[in-house]
Amino acid sequence: MSNPPVQFPAAFTPVGAIAFATADAGAQLVSEASPLPVSVANPGPAVQPVSAAALPLPTGAASADNQVAQTAALAAIAAQLPAGLGARAVAQSLSVTPAGDVGNLEPGGSAVAGAAMPAGGGGLTGWLSAIYRACNEAAPVSGSVTSAATVVSASNALCMGGAFQVTAAGTGCTISYEQSNDGGNWVALPVAAATGTLPVTSSTVTGIYNFASAAAFVRARVSIYGSGTVAVVLSQKHQAAPTTGVSLAAGSAAIGSVTANPGGGFTDSTTALAAGATFNGLARANSQAQYAFFSATAWADQAGTLFVDQSLDSGASWQAVASQAVTAAAAGSLAVRVTGAFATTTVYRVRYVNGAAAQGGFRLSSEYTAS
């Protein structure tokens, strides 16, 4: 239908408008609320089915024609899977077969020369246990013999020493301790008994004998056999305590020409002196070269004078080399540096001259000292 005329007041500019016929034959202007109705005269063909014949598909694609074969393949895969997840016994687990050209876990790997599996080991577990043992203290090695033969022998690699324990020494048997770098040429190995004696290279009695060595091999061998059984247990350590030292804590143990604790002090007199009397001590020889001083101490209840005398002719003649006045009821001391040739002819003595009054008490002593 044609647009109806629209009358506008003269003050307005006329415009055109779009309208459509309503069901009751009226006119309806087109607006946002009343859009222009549209109808499709020919909607096109109906929905067409898709098939391998109508639409080309790749070979083996999932389709109605291939569904049975695909279902059978999935069923075969499902039959190989476990019924549920989680740990399973060996019989219920799925095995994996490595490729035939893979000989171990590291294709192309090889052991270093001279590296052999320790006795009793096997496979990866064996090698790991061997590494663990090498990283820790070596296991004790024991042995026993009834003849002149090697009792125990072991590699000393990664170890710096240890201890041989002789648990049975036999009768009239001598055990020699030895070390070597090539396992064929052996030399003596110094050992020290745990009781603290001087180092030795052999033993004849039971006990623990400590050693320190950087050699490649160590052993204990029966070098002289008498009778009975000789048994030894060897324990090795990565870091061993020194065993060649000697304790100086007791006795007069000697180190070269130096003697420890020699007892160089003397009590010269405790007898009271009469008025004006003189006491001459014995000639004291310097028995040790390390002594640097001769000293003396005197106490008396009366005043007097303390002297130190020296002789260069074994006491045939004396010369005073130092003196000290002693106050009554007080002590006086002297110390002189030892001089002259170190020989039995060079001697020192202490001498005391009492004052005008007789003593009621007297103490006189002397000694050689290093300082």
pTM metric for this prediction = 0.39
* Residue 306, CB-side half-sphere exposure with 13 Å CA sphere: 27
The domains of the chain are located at 141-237, 265-369
**CATH class assigned to 265-369:** mainly beta
- In angstroms, the CA 233 to CA 212 distance is 16
What is d(CA 230, CA 223) in angstroms, rounded to the nearest whole number?
A: 11
Question: Any residues with CB less than 8 A from the CB of 171 and at least 6 apart, and which?
Answer: 226, 227, 228
pLDDT at residue 135, rounded to an integer = 72
pLDDT tens string for the chain (371 positions)? 555 555 555 555 555 667 777 778 778 887 888 887 777 676 666 666 666 566 666 666 666 666 777 788 888 888 877 777 777 777 767 666 666 655 556 655 666 776 777 777 777 777 787 777 767 666 789 999 999 999 999 988 878 889 999 999 999 999 999 999 999 999 999 999 887 777 899 999 999 999 999 899 999 999 999 999 999 999 988 776 665 555 555 555 555 555 544 546 889 999 999 999 999 999 988 866 678 888 999 999 999 999 999 999 988 999 999 999 999 998 889 999 988 777 778 899 999 999 999 999 999 999 988 87
Check residue 190 and give its pLDDT: 93
Torsion angles phi and psi, residue 311, rounded to 5:
-130, 135
